[in-house]
Amino acid sequence: MLRPDLLAALTARRLLAIVRGNSPEAALDTVVTLARSGIDLIEVSLTGADALRVIERARAVLGPDALLGAGTVLTARDAGSAADAGAAFIVTPGITDAVAASRAMGLPVLAGALTPTEVAQALAEGATAVKLFPAGPGGGPQLLRALRGPFPQVPFVPVGGIDAAAARAYLAAGAVAVGVGSPLVGRAADGDPAGLRTRAEAFCSLAGEGL
C-alpha cells in the first residue's frame, strides 16, 4: 500500500468524510458508498464499533490506493493497529503520542490543535496538516483567520459540527479542507442509509464549486 500525499489529497478534494457508528456493517457500507459516490477521502473513527475491522474490510473492498484513514487515534499502539488494519493516514484529536509514532511509521498525520501553542507543537511533531478542533465551539471562522496570521502557510482542516454553510465559511477564511461527519453521513453509519447518496452528491457538487 502506497502512502498517500495527504496534503495534496486535502487540497484537491477539500472534503474529508468522517465515519463512526455503532454498527460495523453499516459503517462499512457507508465508507464504500461514500467512496463510490465521489467522496473518496475518508476517516474511520476508532470510537466506532469494531473500527479496525471496518478499516481492514474497507481496504479490501476499495483497494490499496484508497484514501482511507483512521481517526480519533490517541496512542502509539492505536496508530500501529490502524496501520496494520490498512489505514493510510492518521487523524488525532490533539497532540498525542500517536503523532510521533505515526510519523515514525511513515504515515501522514492530520493532528488536532486549537491554540497557537498547539499548532506550533503539531508542526514540530511533523504533522502534515492541522485539524482545527473543535472548530465550532472553538471560535469558528474568526479563530481560523486569527491563527492564519502567525501561521499563514499552515494547512488547516476545521472539524466539528460543520455543515455545508459552515464549510463555505471556513474555506473562505482560508481552510485547505473541512472535515464533515454527521451533516454528511447522518445516521447511515448506524444502519439508516436513507439519503446518504443524495447528501454525498450535494457535498460533491459543493466541493466542485469550491464550496
35-59 pLDDT, tens per residue? 998 999 999 999 999 999 999 999 9
Largest CA distance in the chain: 44
28 vs 142: CA distance, rounded Å: 36
Residue 83's region, left for phi above 0, alpha for psi from -120 to 50, else beta, is: alpha
Q: Catalytic annotation on 56?
A: no
Cα 37 from Cα 11, distance rounded (Å): 19
Extract the C-alpha cell encoding 181: 461527519
Q: What global pTM score does this model have?
A: 0.94
Q: What angle do CA 175, 167, 67 make, to 5 degrees?
A: 70
Catalytic site residue from 43, 118, 201, 209: 43
Q: What is the 3-state secondary structure (H, E, C) of 59-125?
A: HHHHCCCCEEEEECCCCHHHHHHHHHHCCCCEECCCCCHHHHHHHHCCCCEEEEECCHHHHHHHHHC
In whole angstroms, how far apart are CA 163 and each of 1, 39, 199? Answer: 32, 15, 11
Domains annotated on the chain, with CATH: 6-208 (3.20.20.70)
Confidence of residue 203 (pLDDT cuts 50, 70, 90): confident
pLDDT digits (tens, 9 = 90+) for 150-197: 999 999 999 998 998 898 899 999 999 999 999 999 877 777 777 888
Q: Known catalytic residue: 43?
A: yes
